[in-house]
Structures are given as C-alpha cells and as structure tokens.
C-alpha cells in the first residue's frame, strides 16, 4: 500500500513537472517566434500605406550591414502580392568575391492594419522579423526608409539605382534623429558589372 501511495505521489509529481516543462517550452517558443517583431521606440510606421503601390522592384541604396547581406552589391528587392493577402519577397544581390548572385525568397504579412507600413517578414520557417516603413514618397512610391526590430536594421530603398542627394540627406537626418548609427551605413554599389 505504501509503495502504491509513493508511486502515485511520485507519478503525480512527474506529471506536474512535465506539464510545467511543456508550458515553459510553449512560452519560450512564442517569445522566440515573436522576438524580432516590434520596432525602435523612435520609429513610427507610415499611415495611408497602399501595398499595391509598394509592389514591384526596389533598389537598395543604403543599409546597415548584416551577415545575410555582407559583401553584396546590386541588391534589389522584388515584392509581389500573394493570393492570401501577403507579399512574396525576392531579395537578390551580387557577391563579387565568388562572382555569383545570391537570392533569398521570403514572405511578408501585415502586423496590424493594412494601411500601416508595418509588416513581418520571414525568409526561413516560422521566424519573422519586423519590416517598418517609416518614411515614404507617397506620390509615386519612389523611395522608402525602412527599419527592422531595432536600430541595428536600416535600409534606404528606391525605384531607381540612384537617388537625388536631397533624398540621402533626408534619410541621414531622419535616421540620426531616430538613433541609428549612420556612420556604419553602407552605400550599395548598384553599377552593373
């Protein structure tokens, strides 16, 4: 009888521990899956955003560099609407050290309202990062200033391989005001080889 009581007490305790472990794993997974969403406090997404106007090819004019873009020139991003309301993303750049093109295919979805320039983008599995359009030329969608989840991620995108100096000046000013380290910016070589 004592053995049976001990087994029940031990088994109940084990089940309780397993349940707690499962709950912790679920919490950690949710935090990890959403860990790269959000934006710097100083960044606010544009409103009156029209996703259809944003579709098409964009040239990367400047960026804060990261391992996934390191050494790339002629970088472009192409956006197309998906049937489910999301966006297909095709990023492409030339890696001159290997004399080859690199591509990354992804998907993006609005985080909140579809009239706000705040999306989540994924290039691998269920892991998403923030894509926050915080400045935009509204008339023809000629350029966009984009942030990630924190001030380590920043891009200047344009419809053409170059922009007027006034756009770069505005980009630098707005980025500095929002706490981005503009001394680390890389201006992307868009000249065809």
| Rounded Cα distance, 19 and 76, in Å | 47
Domain covering 51-187 assigned CATH 2.40.128.20 in the classification: yes
Spell out the domain ranges in the chain.
1-34, 51-187
Which residue is it, tokens 């989840």? 149
| Rounded Cα distance, 139 and 7, in Å | 73
* pLDDT one digit per residue (tens) for the chain, 193 residues: 555 544 454 455 555 544 334 333 333 333 333 447 899 999 999 999 999 999 999 999 999 999 889 999 999 999 999 999 999 999 999 999 999 999 999 999 999 999 999 999 999 889 999 999 999 999 999 999 999 999 999 999 999 999 999 999 999 999 999 999 999 999 999 987 6
């Amino acid at each position: 009888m004592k053995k049976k009581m001990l087994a029940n007490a031990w088994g109940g305790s084990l089940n309780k521990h397993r349940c707690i472990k499962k709950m912790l794993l679920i919490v950690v997974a949710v935090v990890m899956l959403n860990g790269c969403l959000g934006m710097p406090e100083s960044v606010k997404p544009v409103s009156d955003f029209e996703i259809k106007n944003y579709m098409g090819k964009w040239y990367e004019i400047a960026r804060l560099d990261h391992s996934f873009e390191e050494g790339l020139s002629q970088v472009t991003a192409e956006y197309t609407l998906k049937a489910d309301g999301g966006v297909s993303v095709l990023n492409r750049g030339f890696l001159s050290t290997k004399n080859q093109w690199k591509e990354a295919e992804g998907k993006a979805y609005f985080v909140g309202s579809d009239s706000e320039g705040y999306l989540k983008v994924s290039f691998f599995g269920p892991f998403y990062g923030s894509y926050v359009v915080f400045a935009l030329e509204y008339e023809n969608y000629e350029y966009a200033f984009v942030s990630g989840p924190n001030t380590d991620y920043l891009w200047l995108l344009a419809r053409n391989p170059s922009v007027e100096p006034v756009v770069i000046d505005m980009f630098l000013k707005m980025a500095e005001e929002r706490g981005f380290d503009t001394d680390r910016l890389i201006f992307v070589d868009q000249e065809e080889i």
